[in-house]
């Protein structure tokens, strides 16, 4: 796979802090921030809107075959719309939280979204966050990070955001699925963010990118 622009892959479990870090890093580097979880969430939202049972794989397959999914960039951030609509706050709603990991298991869903994710590397430098970015979407990028945090810290972070989320259940589904499970890519640099601030984690990534010669020492 030959990507023409740089991709920095940031993977990790639910509420590990990867979104805040990926956003902050993208801002500092002037790269586009690409949130792949949002894409799985948008598809899930449309499946639910269509009245399809998210656990019925055949019905989900039929539903996604009809879906028009568009991914773009606005103000240095990725955007996603499904059948012309952007779901907004519903993306992080309870319904989507409870169903997204079922939808993310369906191979046809992953293939559609992985193709759209890879297309970003043809148009811009990107910091891309998800579950399989370093392992499957961009296995050849030399810049891979895996951000973790203890289960208690992650649950507390989600609660502080005021969001009802089934992170334990999603983690279980995401790590045990047959197709592209959440794994630590062999060459990923692992950071435990349990006791670090967003700036702390971002600083560690920048330090690593300097060590690799990707950023100059005076960045
Ligand atoms: O931010 P948070 O940890 O809550 O999750 P997210 O990144 O918004 O992802 C939501 C769900 O989408 C995950 O629980 C996975 O089931 C799925 N996902 C995935 O399978 N692969 C990705 N690259 C990104 C998300």
Average pLDDT of the chain to the nearest whole number: 94
- Test site for ligand 1: of 15, 77, 131, 162, most ligand atoms within 8 A of the Cβ: 131
Each residue of 207-219: b (16+ CB within 10 Å) or e? ebbeeeeebeeee
Domains assigned to the chain: 7-211 (3.40.50.300)
* Residue 91: DSSP 8-state: G
177 lines ligand 1 (CB under 6 A): no
Q: Which residue has the higher pLDDT, 162 or 8?
A: 8
Q: How remote is the CA of residue 170 from the centroid of ligand 1, in Å?
A: 8
Ligand 1 centroid, distance to 37 Cα (angstroms): 4
SS3 213: coil
Distance 38 CA to ligand 1 centre (A): 7
Summarised one tens digit per residue, pLDDT across range 172-205 is: 999 999 999 999 999 999 999 999 999 999 999 9
**Does pTM top 0.85 for this prediction?**
yes
- In ligand 1, the atom with minimum distance to the C-alpha of 173 is 16
The pLDDT assigned to 168 comes to 84
> In the beta sheet, which residues pair with residue 77?
33, 74
* CB distance 147 to ligand 1 below 6 Å: no
Q: CA-to-CA distance for 182 and 174, rounded, in angstroms?
A: 6
39-63: per-residue pLDDT in tens?
999 999 999 999 999 999 999 999 9
119, pLDDT greater than 60: yes
């Amino acid at each position: 796979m030959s990507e023409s622009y740089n991709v920095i892959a940031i993977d990790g479990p639910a509420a590990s802090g990867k979104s805040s870090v990926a956003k902050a890093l993208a801002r500092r580097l002037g790269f586009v921030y690409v949130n792949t979880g949002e894409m799985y969430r948008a598809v899930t939202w449309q499946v639910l809107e269509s009245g399809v049972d998210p656990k019925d794989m055949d019905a989900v397959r039929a539903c996604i075959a009809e879906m028009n999914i568009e991914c773009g960039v606005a103000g240095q951030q990725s955007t996603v719309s499904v059948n012309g609509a952007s779901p907004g706050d519903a993306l992080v709603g309870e319904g989507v939280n409870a169903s997204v990991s079922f939808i993310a298991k369906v191979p046809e869903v992953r293939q559609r979204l992985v193709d759209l994710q890879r297309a970003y590397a043809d148009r811009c430098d990107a910091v891309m966050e998800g579950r399989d970015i370093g392992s499957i979407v961009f296995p050849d990028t030399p810049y891979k990070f895996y951000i973790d945090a203890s289960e208690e810290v992650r649950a507390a972070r989600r609660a502080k955001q005021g969001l009802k989320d089934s992170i334990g259940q999603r983690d279980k589904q995401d790590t045990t699925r047959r197709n592209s499970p959440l794994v630590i890519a062999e060459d990923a640099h692992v950071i435990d963010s349990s006791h670090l601030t967003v700036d702390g984690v971002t600083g560690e990534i920048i330090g690593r990118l300097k060590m690799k010669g990707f950023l100059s020492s005076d960045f």
